[in-house]
Amino acid sequence: METIALAEVAAVLADPSRAAMCLALLDGRAWTVGELARSAGIAPSTASEHVTRLKEAGFVAGVKQGRHRYVRIADPRVAELIEHLAQHAEHRAATGLRDSLRVRRLAFARTCYDHLAGAVGVALREGMVRTGLVDASGGLTLTGRGREVLTSLGVEVPEGGRRPLLRGCLDWTERRDHLGGALPAALFARGVAAGWFDRRADRAVRLLPAAEEPLARLGVELPDLGSGAA
């Protein structure tokens, strides 16, 4: 039964168009079917059929807001599955300057569904542990000081919910953990809204000048990381 289930999951992502749509959805946002069609280079009617298949497989869920309908990844665990499968594709050697720059940008800072990954994401975890904002002695726990600093930065610390507040998430470019969970998602959302981070279409994240001070308060010194690829 496990073999059959695995084959069924693999078949969902075997179609290049569905795979492209899933990679687009890894940025954590909700997309319209038309936007997914353009990202995959296919007709909207074909994209709609693919969305139906992805919904049936539990990969995506529909979201309705007013008169508009959107699609998003159904669950963080689905995003992790897609992220890990994408690792193997990214491990292939870059074939030109454009590919090389893209790989460098993704390695420096990118989204892992809805939180920061790459060198910056790993540095954030290490910085928050080093400065006592997160306690890693018995799992990952937000400390009182960490809560104070985040609140002062305008980050709303999630309360309750089924999703863990903090957890380790293995970073495939750094081979070390970055922070996953509801809190890093809230931190990244605040950073985008506050003009600290700029999302790129390929999931790379550009750190804006306004990010330097808040990240320093979280234990991350940007000059030590370099600027990444422009």
Neighbours of 40 (CB within 10 A): 21
- What local confidence, expressed as pLDDT, does residue 95 receive? 47
Q: Which of 31-40, 53-62, 63-72, 105-114 has the lowest mean pLDDT?
A: 63-72
Q: Assess whether pLDDT exceeds 70 at residue 58.
A: yes
pLDDT in tens, 171-205: 878 888 999 999 999 999 999 999 999 988 778 89
The more confident residue out of 3 and 138 is 138
Say if domain 2-74 classifies as CATH 1.10.10.10.
yes
- pLDDT tens for each residue of 118-166: 999 999 999 999 999 999 998 899 999 999 999 999 999 999 888 899 9
Locate CATH 1.10.10.10 in the chain. Answer: 2-74
Instruction: Find out whether 73 and 59 touch, Cβ atoms under 8 Å.
Output: yes
- Is pLDDT larger for residue 54 or for residue 160? 54
State the pLDDT at residue 3: 63
What pLDDT is recorded for position 217? 97
State how far the alpha carbon of 124 is from the alpha carbons of 83, 115, 132, 193, 202, in Å: 20, 11, 12, 18, 21
